[in-house]
Amino acid sequence: MHTHPSSPWPPTPREVEVVIEVPRGSFLKRGSSGHIDFVSPLPCPFNYGAVPTHLGMEGDLLDALVLGPRLVLGTRRRVMAWGAVTLTDRGMSDDKLVCSDHAPSADEIHRVLRFFHFYAKCKWLLNLWRRRPGRNACEGWCDVADAFARARPLPPKWVGPDVPF
What are residue 116's DSSP bridge partners?
Answer: none
Domains and CATH numbers, the chain: 14-150 (3.90.80.10)
pLDDT by residue for the chain (165 residues), tens only, comes to 455 555 566 678 999 999 999 999 999 888 777 778 778 888 999 999 999 999 998 888 999 999 999 999 999 999 999 999 999 888 788 999 999 999 999 999 999 999 999 989 988 888 788 888 888 899 999 999 999 999 999 999 888 877 665
State residue 55's pLDDT score: 95
State residue 5's pLDDT score: 58
State residue 1's pLDDT score: 47
State residue 161's pLDDT score: 79
Whether the bond into 10 is cis, omega within 30 of 0: yes
State residue 54's pLDDT score: 96
CA distance 68 to 71: 9
159 conformational bin, left if phi > 0, alpha if psi -120 to 50, beta if neither:
alpha
Residues 6+ apart with CB under 8 A from 95: 56, 57, 62, 63, 84, 85, 86, 87, 142, 146, 147, 150, 151
Rounded alpha-carbon distances, angstroms, from residue 40 to 22, 27, 48, 63, 105: 11, 5, 14, 18, 27
Report the chain's terminal Cα–Cα distance, integer Å: 24
